[in-house]
Amino acid sequence: AACCYLVCDRLTDSKSGDVITVTIGATVPTGFEHTAAEEVKEKIGVAARISKDRGRIYFPITTDKLFQVHLLRSVDNLFVVVEEYDHYQFKQSKEETLLELQQLASKLPWTNALEVWKLNGTLKKKKGHRKGGNTTKVKPNRNTTEVAAADTEQQLHQVASAAEGQLEAESAADAEPCEQDSQEAAPEAKVIKFRVTCNRAGDKHSFSSNEAARDFGGAVQEFFQWKADMTKFDIEVLLNIHNEEMVIGIALTEESLHRRNISHFGPTTLRSTLCYGMLRLCKPQASDVILDPMCGTGAIPLEGAIEFSSSFYIAGDNNDMAVNRTVNNICHIQKRRADKDRISGLPIDTVQWDLCSLPIRTSSVDIIITDMPFGKRMGSKKKNWDLYPLCLREMARVCRPGSGKAVLLTQDKKCFAKAISRMGGLWRKLHTVWVNVGGLHAGVYLLKRTGAVFGQTPEDVHESRGICEFKLRPG
């Protein structure tokens, strides 16, 4: 028998709009699960549990505080958990397993999760359909708002009727279709469209992700009488399977929250959620001067200027296209803030420069945080062997001895380790977080600037700083 956690506990009658408690699941950048859990504790005040499946956390929340989950900066996607199985005993044969998944659909406690989905819809503005769907925008006015509200009410009534049917006795459930027929004879309810997405990891399953999604989705469709639609769906049901762990949920985000700051993308733009994790590692303080010498599209300093706004950020790159993208992204955020009647100014400045000869005073920067070229999409591994020592030395020059820090992301681990060893004790490695960046296994290195005086270490005596002539990345 499977070990099951019932995760949608009814506190009061959801029909009357009272508070209920549910479990929220969140996908986060792999490697930064603990950072996300810390943020949840800090901002929502509850303890988050880190999943065995890397890149996911779970935490409880009451519906009166649901809006707070959308304020989290470290999460990519959010979903409300319908039910979770810690040790689900999948059958040996594919046919038996898929049949069991079909039977499971009608037994799950959908009611509270659907209540949360409804409430979530009222918390966020509709931005048309999801990617791939109909994105036609209509100017908001009183009439369209009223029509949308009426459609939503019809949808909510349909969802509530279907979900609450499972709580009735069997005889009442048999009579329910007649009741629904009479209700539909009045104003015709809009048919809810849905899809099931299965994310599966593990090599001991007899079925594929597509087969699980197909059979489970068919049973969900039969139970709720919803219409399947892969692109223009209203509800996305999630079936997450990791070895023996299985979680069924309903998505609360239409697109990943990591795209929140960037309007002008480059070939190596970092996810905003990963930028946030890197920033939390170095713990920015009020009045800190924070430098990104290879800013690309400005994703890191932009996230910092928004979330840690008491520090000042300098974003620079040697490529004019990258600098232009950064400026455009800053302008985009400022305009968005002005439209919401908020202070539009951001504590950030942008400069085009030579990375290995920065126009910055020695020992004037508190924190350096950047995404270094991996040598894959931008630059090359061969160039990194020359570039890394040069830029690490220049970073050591501008960083404050004894108190300065650096958070550097790179996939070229061997080259980075060699470069650090050539710094003559200017940098000391404190911590490494292993992350997944576009399918590449990379490291986020937290370095401490030692008290060694720049220009007086053994390596500095034998090697001049030199001039950097490397073209790094166009964004």
pLDDT digits (tens, 9 = 90+) for 221-231: 999 999 999 99
Q: For residue 473, what pLDDT is reported?
A: 47
| Tokens (6 digits) for 396 | 């050591």
Cα 249 from Cα 227, distance rounded (Å)? 18
If we measure between CA atoms, which residue out of 290, 241, 278 comes closest to residue 444? 278
Counting every residue written for the chain, the total comes to 475
* CATH homologous superfamily of 272-465: Vaccinia Virus protein VP39 (3.40.50.150)
Question: Is residue 45 exposed (0-12), middle (13-18) or buried (19+ Cβ within 10 Å)?
Answer: exposed
At residue 369, φ and ψ (nearest 5 deg) are -140, 125
Q: For residue 344, what pLDDT is reported?
A: 77
Taking the mean position of all CA atoms in its chain, how far away is CA 74? Answer: 6
If we measure between CA atoms, which residue out of 386, 343, 84, 406 comes closest to residue 239? 84
66 forms bridges with which residues in the sheet?
Answer: none
Cite the residue boundaries of each domain of the chain with CATH code 3.30.2130.30: 21-124+191-251
At residue 198, φ and ψ (nearest 5 deg) are -110, 125
pLDDT digits (tens, 9 = 90+) for 2-47: 343 434 443 344 444 579 999 999 999 999 999 999 999 999 999 9
Cα 170 from Cα 161, distance rounded (Å)? 15
Buried b (16+ CB within 10 A) or exposed e, 185-214: eeeebeebbbbbbbbbeeeebebeeebbbb
**In the chain, how many H helices and how many E strands?**
12, 17
Radius of gyration of the chain (CA): 26
Cite the residue boundaries of each domain of the chain with CATH code 3.40.50.150: 272-465
Asked if residue 132 lies in contact with residue 229, where contact means CB atoms within 8 angstroms, the answer is no
Cα 409 from Cα 60, distance rounded (Å)? 32
Asked if residue 29 lies in contact with residue 433, where contact means CB atoms within 8 angstroms, the answer is no
pLDDT digits (tens, 9 = 90+) for 105-123: 999 999 999 999 999 988 8
Cα 362 from Cα 394, distance rounded (Å)? 9
Provide the percentage of residues in the chain whose pLDDT is more than 90: 63
Cα 293 from Cα 326, distance rounded (Å)? 12
pLDDT digits (tens, 9 = 90+) for 147-164: 333 444 454 445 445 444
* Residue 65: pLDDT over 60: yes
Count of C-beta atoms within a 10 Å radius of residue 123: 11
Q: What secondary structure letter does DSSP report for 189?
A: P
Question: Is residue 132 exposed (0-12), middle (13-18) or buried (19+ Cβ within 10 Å)?
Answer: exposed
Residue with tokens 């901002």: 43
Of the candidate ranges 1-10, 157-166, 384-393, 457-466, the one whose mean pLDDT is the lowest: 1-10
pLDDT band at 269 (very low <50, low <70, confident <90, very high): confident
Q: Taking the CA of residue 35 as centre, how many other CA atoms within 13 Å lie in the half-sphere pointing to its CB?
A: 25
Dihedral angle computed from the Cα positions of residues 62, 64, 66 and 70, in that order, rounded to the nearest 10 degrees: -140
Strands (DSSP E) contained in 125-273 are 193-201, 227-228, 235-242, 245-251
Taking the mean position of all CA atoms in its chain, how far away is CA 346? Answer: 23
At residue 146, φ and ψ (nearest 5 deg) are -65, -40
Count of C-beta atoms within a 10 Å radius of residue 420: 18
| Tokens (6 digits) for 452 | 């060694």
H or E element at residue 431: strand 427-437
If we measure between CA atoms, which residue out of 429, 358, 444, 351 comes closest to residue 395? 358
- Residue 190, classed as helix, strand or coil, is coil
- Residue 430, classed as helix, strand or coil, is strand
| Tokens (6 digits) for 469 | 């002539």
Considering only residues 147 and 331, tell me which one the structure prediction assigns the higher pLDDT. Answer: 331
Asked if residue 393 lies in contact with residue 264, where contact means CB atoms within 8 angstroms, the answer is no
State the Cα angle at 66 between 62 and 69, rounded to 5°. 120
Tell me the pairing of strands 427-437 and 440-449: antiparallel
CATH class of 21-124+191-251: alpha beta
* Residue 53: pLDDT over 80: no
State the Cα angle at 352 between 346 and 353, rounded to 5°. 125
At residue 173, φ and ψ (nearest 5 deg) are -65, -35
pLDDT digits (tens, 9 = 90+) for 171-220: 344 444 444 444 444 456 788 999 999 999 888 899 999 999 999 999 99
Asked if residue 249 lies in contact with residue 82, where contact means CB atoms within 8 angstroms, the answer is yes
| Tokens (6 digits) for 459 | 């390596």
